[in-house]
Structure 1
Amino acid sequence: MDFVDKNLIEKKPVNLLPLEETSFKIVEKVKDLKELAATLQSVEEFAVDLEHNQYRSFQGLTCLMQISTRTEDYIVDTFKLWDHIGPYLRELFKDPKKKKVMHGADRDIIWLQRDFGIYVCNLFDTGQASRVLKLERKSLEFLLKHYCGVAANKEYQNADWRIRPLPDVMTRYATSSDHRD
């Protein structure tokens, strides 16, 4: 297999917009998912996180998908779009020219495959990078604080993400907890 980044060159970090200035959209309708797919088609990279629940369930299910570009955040309601997520996003996730950024993606990768038939190519896992770099801590919370000066709020990390409608506090958490890892 040929790798995309054959000749790695040093790139300067890109300053992101402050969280308060970053727009976010809730994706609950097929037309919104189609617009998200079009947006992802136009970017070189995007970050992904999933919220999962397995309370009283053998395998559990993916309850929410957060996708961020450098300028926008999206919260995809997987319950409302379950049958459409794979068909609209599958090609984008497997495109080796688009970098996908996740943190500790081991389980997320399994959930994407199991629930939506999505396979990921060209993944940069910040959790794995922290291991390779032998950082003192590997958590996303540590990486955000150390490299970005952002204090991560993990208050709703283990919340019941099956709740609908999603409370405002959980929506805010979903857009800020892993803000463009």
Structure 2
Amino acid sequence: MHIHGLIDDNAAIANLCHRLAQSPYVVVDTEFMRENSYWPELCLIQIADANEAAAIDPMQPGIDMKPLLDLLTENQDVLKVFHAGGQDIEIVYNLTGKTPHPLFDTQVAAMALGQGEQIGYSNLVDSYLGITVDKGARFTDWSRRPLDARQIDYAIADVTHLAEIFPKMLEKLRKTGRGLWLDEEMERLADPSNYFNDPEDVWRRVRIASRKPEVLGRLKALAKWREIEAQAKDLPRGRIVKDETIADLAGNPPRKQSDLSRVRGLSTTWGGNDIGARLMAAIESAVPMPADEMPGRDDRKNGMGKDGALVADLLKLLLKIRSRDINVASKLLARSDDLEALAGGQREGLSILEGWRFEQFGRDALALVEGHLAFAVKGGKLKMTRAEDAE
């Protein structure tokens, strides 16, 4: 493989992307900083196919990223390969309003091959290539220039290793017949709605014990206000106001702005400054949360009764057994929400009752719920048996 090193020239980027557009797949990784900003600061993009690899410097003044971004988001003939690519995809979405498509995530694929639910990049490289990844540059400040040769080599190795692993992984998926299992997951990862931070919905991320509509209404208004402030100032939302302070203000709203100077977690200046006034305006604009927006209880079993909760636990036990038997990560096979819904009597709209999941797990899950399957110990191992056989 030819390694170009760091590219910061527009003509070289355009030529590279033209060549890569002829490949069936490209491997992509990014380096970014977000500790001090709301929007992640893109510092480096590494890209490779089977023949060549390079790092592109997006921080170079006058750099034209359009050929690269078009390759990632507009070219439907080239598969884009990531490892645990959620944040990389988010960066592309923030720059373009689109996500890379079609895409393939090697961490998700590893779930179908029995390598755990969240295998790290280093472990993946070790398992497929027998290479120990150099972690020395892991804590690099990628926004600083110039980058030295070791840092650039470290960054490019992420995509060169993955470009070698991807075909091996694809061959395993073909041999096991599990490639089709991943189509739904990859489409879900590519869904742009996953990467849009809607200020109207960010309240759901804040932990709060209260389930009172008026408290949750204030929480929604305050979280929306904070998100807009953070976006406008390009600061982490916690740098504006921390979650616990937002929750306290929702539960115990101040009567007037001067009271903010005594709120734990806020500067005393908020009692009279502009940002404090905007916070108070958010509280005053809040309305009780409507019934159709109210969150469900944290423990979904509470609505099922004791028997339903026990059935859900049995389904989770069945999931562990089946995941072990077919060597696949249980998270890929079924979600807890689906198991609890099935235990509670739901039969429509559940992924475990459709497609490959039904064949591999859902059919038995349904049989267990309907009393046709039972647990038995055979040879010291827990297995499933037909209920009539157990009797």
TM-score bucket of the superposed structures, by smaller chain = 0.7 to 0.9
- Tell me if 1:172 matches 2:153: yes
Counterpart position of 1:100 = 80
* 1:131-176 residue CA offsets vs partner (Å, 9 max, x unmatched): 2333146111111111112211222223100111111221111122
Counterpart position of 2:141 = 160
Structure scoring higher RCO (CA < 8 A, sep ≥ 6) equals 1
> May I ask how many residue pairs the two structures share in their alignment?
160
Looking at secondary structure, tell me which structure has more helix per residue. 2
Identity %: 23
* 1:93-128 residue CA offsets vs partner (Å, 9 max, x unmatched): 132221111100011100111135552111110011
Counterpart position of 2:92 = 112
* 1:7-62 residue CA offsets vs partner (Å, 9 max, x unmatched): xxxxxxxxxx5xxxx42232101111111111112211110000011132232311
CA RMSD in angstroms comes to: 2.0
- State the alpha-carbon separation in 1 of the partners of residues 37 and 62 from structure 2: 18
Flag structure 1 segments of 5+ consecutive residues without an equivalent: 1-16
Q: 1:121 to 1:76 in 2, by over 3 A?
A: same
- State the alpha-carbon separation in 1 of the partners of residues 86 and 97 from structure 2: 16
Q: SS of the counterpart of 1:161?
A: coil
- State the alpha-carbon separation in 2 of the partners of residues 157 and 104 from structure 1: 16
CA contact (8 A) 1:99 1:124 kept: yes
Alignment of 1:21-32 (within 5 A): 22-32=2-12
The one of 112, 122, 126 equivalent to 1:145 is: 126
Q: SS of the counterpart of 1:114?
A: helix
Alignment of 1:21-170 (within 5 A): 22-80=2-60, 84-85=64-65, 87-94=66-73, 95-117=75-97, 119-136=99-116, 138-170=119-151
Flag structure 2 segments of 5+ consecutive residues without an equivalent: 163-391
Looking at secondary structure, tell me which structure has more strand per residue. 1
Q: 1:29 to 1:116 in 2, by over 3 A?
A: farther
CA contact (8 A) 1:49 1:67 kept: yes
Q: 1:81 to 1:35 in 2, by over 3 A?
A: farther
- State the alpha-carbon separation in 1 of the partners of residues 151 and 140 from structure 2: 8
CA contact (8 A) 1:101 1:125 kept: yes
Q: 1:25 to 1:169 in 2, by over 3 A?
A: closer
What TM-score results when the alignment is normalised by the length of structure 1? 0.79
CA contact (8 A) 2:6 2:56 kept: yes
CA contact (8 A) 1:47 1:102 kept: yes
Q: Which amino acid aligns with 1:72?
A: E
Q: Which amino acid aligns with 2:36?
A: R
CA contact (8 A) 1:25 1:75 kept: yes
What TM-score results when the alignment is normalised by the length of structure 2? 0.39
Q: SS of the counterpart of 2:38?
A: coil
- State the alpha-carbon separation in 2 of the partners of residues 152 and 89 from structure 1: 27
Q: 1:79 to 1:118 in 2, by over 3 A?
A: farther
- State the alpha-carbon separation in 2 of the partners of residues 89 and 178 from structure 1: 15
CA contact (8 A) 1:62 1:115 kept: no
